[in-house]
Amino acid sequence: MRFTIEKDTIIEPLSRVASVIDSSPTIPILAQVLIESVDGGIRLWGSSIDLEASERIEDVEVSAEGKFVCSAQMLLEYCRRQPSGSRLDFNQAGTRLVVENIDSAQVDSVPAANANGSAPDAQFSTEDYKNAMTESLLDAEDFPYLNVGEEEWTVQFDMDRYALRNIFRRTEHAMGKNEPRHYLNATLLEIADSCVRAVTTDGHRMAMSESNIDAPDLELRHRAVVPRKTAIELSKVLSSLTSRVTVQFKSAHLRMSTPNFSFTSKLMEGAFPDWRAAVPGNLELAFRADRSELASGLNMVGILGMAHKDPNKGKIAANVVVSNGRLDMVADIVQKKIEHTMNVDENISEHKFQVNYRYLLDALEAMPECENVELYLRATQSACQIKFPEEASTTFLVMLLKDT
């Protein structure tokens, strides 16, 4: 197989495909990207057994057809380090692949002298100007395609990529990382009433964000538990795409695709907890505040855990008192103390509560486009609800530590 392609043409597709590949896989073939010739171009594939991404590139000069696998990380780094606009020649010869920057070999003349000032070597030729990568190849037939089965996709709809990216991005911070209850290390996707909703929780906080599907006539109802890695990678990939995406579900798989790109993932087995039962009722508005100012105060609290091995890092409690249009925040550990005071609006009665500063800060940082934030709570409840007047589609819930 042989083809020529511009560096700027392959970088983004290669990055998207390589994003699903594990950094240190136990099986060598899982560190590889598959490249094969297709009608009028090439297609790249990446796989981690549970995830698969592929993308077609049409702006390619294919001179010999075929397919091969090569190191995804090495190829991506080689391409990134080439000058913008460079043309790269991919040449597979048996079990070897040579990737060469063609432009680097185009030299008008042999230098007049060597670096030490002596006459140039008589054996010197313009072919000595090489910028190439050579790799021994594994067998492309061993590439682990994700087998999604032959049954039809049971749910399918189109959606704006930005809207879909936002619901993943706004909720990913509340996912568990290594929770023994595996369903907490995931995102619940609910499709109902022409709306897609993402819900995450690690048992101490919960995030909910939704967006409408531009197809009000579709009567779709579906629930799927998306693994953590899938949700995070989709948040990144959707940011770099340039068109609407088609979302498809079947019993054990999810696929999101554009005309040239496809991202497929296995779904997590098991049921997600009933998140609606965790949302407390009869909460009242405690205060409305400037989001940036409140985030700045919480960031100040984080100074207490700046020591690299501090066991309290990320677990510092902020004691908050809200009264008469003023918010006083205090945090102290081991003879260190941080205080922050600010004005708030819509504060009718006094409220006192204690909360993990990091959980509240994560919720605020997930909504950088909003200017104001509202916090709802009730003395008899053990959680506070965080809403944003400018964006009613997203809500956060944070458990309170204890009454003060």
Spatial distance between the Cα atoms of 391 and 210, rounded to a whole number of angstroms: 10
Asked if 292 and 346 sit in the same domain, the reply is yes
pLDDT score, position 122 = 46
Domain that holds residue 387: 281-399
370, 291 Cβ separation under 8 angstroms = yes
CA dist 43 and 261 (Å) reads: 9
Tell me if 149 is assigned to some domain.
no
Q: How far apart are alpha carbons 269 and 374 in whole angstroms? A: 36
**One-letter amino acid of 168:** F
Answer yes or no: are the C-beta atoms of 186 and 268 closer than 8 Å: yes
Residue 193: what pLDDT?
81
| pLDDT tens digit at each of 404 positions of the chain | 999 999 999 999 999 999 999 888 889 999 999 999 988 899 999 999 899 999 999 989 999 999 999 999 999 999 999 999 999 999 998 899 999 999 875 544 444 445 454 444 544 444 556 789 999 999 999 999 998 887 889 999 999 999 999 999 999 999 999 888 888 999 999 998 889 999 999 999 999 999 998 766 667 889 999 999 999 999 999 998 888 999 999 989 999 999 999 999 999 988 898 999 988 888 999 999 999 999 999 999 988 877 645 555 668 899 999 999 999 999 988 788 999 999 999 988 899 999 999 999 999 999 999 999 999 998 878 899 999 999 999 999 999 987 54
- E strands, 258-404, in order: 261-266, 284-290, 317-323, 326-333, 336-343, 351-356, 372-377, 383-387, 394-399
- Give the integer Cα–Cα distance in Å for 84 and 12: 13
Contacts of 380 (CB under 8 A, 6+ apart): none
Alpha carbon distance 348, 375 (integer Å): 13
For residues 69 and 27, is the Cβ–Cβ distance under 8 A? no
The reply to whether 162 and 98 lie within a common domain is no
In the chain, the number of structural domains is 3
Give the domain-ending residue among 107, 142, 177: 142
pLDDT at 105: 57
Distances (CA, A) of 356 to 180, 228, 319, 329, 362: 21, 23, 9, 12, 10
Residue written as token pair 């692949």 = 97
Question: Quick one: residue 270, left, alpha or beta (phi over 0 = left, psi -120 to 50 = alpha)?
Answer: left
Residues 266 and 177 in one domain: yes
| Residue at a domain's end among 115, 142, 169 | 142
**Residue 134 sits in the same domain as residue 171:** no
- Residue 136 and residue 41 share a domain: yes
Written as six digits, the tokens of 398 are 């944070």
Q: What is the rounded CA–CA span in Å between residue 190 and residue 167?
A: 11
